[in-house]
Structure 1
Amino acid sequence: MDIIYRLKTLRLVPVVALPTVESGLRLAELLLDCRLAVMEVTYRTECAGEALEQICSRFPELVVIAGTVVSPEQADQAVSAGVEGIVSPGFTARLATHCQARSIAFFPGVCTPSEVQAAREEGLQNLKIFPAAQFGGIKMIELFGALYPDVLLMPTGGINQDNLVDYLNCANVLCCGGTWLSPQKMLAKGDWGEIEQRIKRAVDLLDRQA
């Protein structure tokens, strides 16, 4: 199934910085149990590469995305692990070309019209707007929708339980990325009860908006 279709259907992508591989495996299982079958594992911790490989291997039904990818080498590692998509905090034509050559979905980060246009010139129409809240939030997203109606956005940064629906109601939003569901400190402490409740509240909110 096409990753763009699946992301549009799922609407929310948990963005995580894993303290350990084991925490990633447990979180993957929890997300599936809660019917949110997607995870973006960021290259912000040393275990990210191994975690991606093990999560992709053990949970093939989960949409696994590599996040904070800033180099072709990281992209290659993520592709070898089996991810379905690659997210970068910024845009470079070099990384875009590298990912396209490997036929992997690439979502570069943008926050200005110039960056959106540069990405479009490379044939990219599904972009991450980051950090969304700090760069105009919903007003900026709506402006991009008027300027670039062919572009779909994945807002990340400042998204939470209280404003998620407002972002999802924007016609040009593909899905939202959220770090509030399982913050790194909460994962490190093993606060699985709170993490589960956050995921369930988010899924319930999505169900009510369906």
Structure 2
Amino acid sequence: MKALEQQLQDIKVVPVIAIEDANKAVKLAQVLIENGLPCAEVTFRTEQAAQAIANMREAYPDMLIGAGTVLNSKQVDEAINAGVDFIVSPGFNPTTVKYCQQRNVQIVPGVNNPSLVEQAMEMGLKTLKFFPAEPSGGVSMLKALSAVYPVQFMPTGGVKPSNVKDYLSVESVVACGGTWMVPNDLIENEDWDELAALVKQVANIIA
């Protein structure tokens, strides 16, 4: 089994998804896999998140699935029970990090400044989410942090087709997170062809 970092490097872009109806999760996963992005970060911003993850995991056992916007230990438990490969949090919460370590699940917490990077390193973390990427200084801030700290980043927040290659060109970046290829309205309307086109566009950009 490849390490999470290697899997992320292979995929390059992680679709960040807020799904309202778990019944649509399997079809969405199929669209992602068939069009070149075999990964999903399903955010706990909706009540259906855990069920959506469980549905994806049952249908596609080998898909790389993360739980995003995880804020507490209860959500960590729900995500693990649903079958996630990794946890993502928007900020750096030492309590949540410790709990993930106790549960033996990898967490990629959000940081956007030197102090938070150092706190994360102190807890043994080597892969961090740079969030919100663009409002926090974008590629230039990421390069500044990377020059000082021996960690890897997954920038998320404001990443889009016009700048994704700039982020991916930074040596410390393992992958980027993005929502633009999985807009909520297309998922809700089950516009799978349009979603497939957006996903394929991303796959072509990063190929």
TM over 0.5, shorter chain: yes
Q: Partner amino acid for 1:128?
A: K
Match of 2:204 in 1: 204
Following the alignment from structure 2 to structure 1, what is the Cα–Cα distance between the partners of residues 194 and 134?
24
Structure 1 unpaired stretches of 5+: none
Following the alignment from structure 2 to structure 1, what is the Cα–Cα distance between the partners of residues 206 and 188?
27
Match of 2:103 in 1: 102
Q: Partner amino acid for 1:63?
A: L
Any idea what the Cα deviations from partners look like across 1:92-146, whole Å, max 9, x if unmatched? 1111111011111100001111111111111111000111001000001000111
Runs of 4+ aligned structure 1 residues displaced above 6 Å come to: none
Following the alignment from structure 1 to structure 2, what is the Cα–Cα distance between the partners of residues 101 and 48?
22
Structure 2 unpaired stretches of 5+: none
Match of 1:154 in 2: 154
Match of 1:48 in 2: 49
Aligned-residue Cα RMSD (Å) equals 0.9
Residue pairs, 1:156-171, within 5 angstroms = 156-171=156-171
Give the match's secondary structure for 2:132: coil
Among the aligned pairs, what percent are the same residue?
38
Give the match's secondary structure for 1:87: strand
Following the alignment from structure 1 to structure 2, what is the Cα–Cα distance between the partners of residues 146 and 35?
31
Q: Partner amino acid for 2:99?
A: H
Shift of 1:159: 0.6
Q: Partner amino acid for 2:170?
A: C
Match of 1:188 in 2: 188
Following the alignment from structure 2 to structure 1, what is the Cα–Cα distance between the partners of residues 24 and 181?
14
Give the match's secondary structure for 2:30: helix
Following the alignment from structure 2 to structure 1, what is the Cα–Cα distance between the partners of residues 138 and 131?
9
Shift of 1:192: 2.0
Match of 2:124 in 1: 123
Shift of 1:33: 0.8
Q: When the two structures are aligned, how many residues end up with a matched partner?
A: 206
Give me the TM-score of the superposition, normalised by structure 1: 0.95
CA contact (8 A) 2:32 2:199 kept: yes
Residue pairs, 1:26-65, within 5 angstroms = 26-65=27-66
Shift of 1:35: 2.4
Match of 2:174 in 1: 174
CA contact (8 A) 2:36 2:199 kept: no
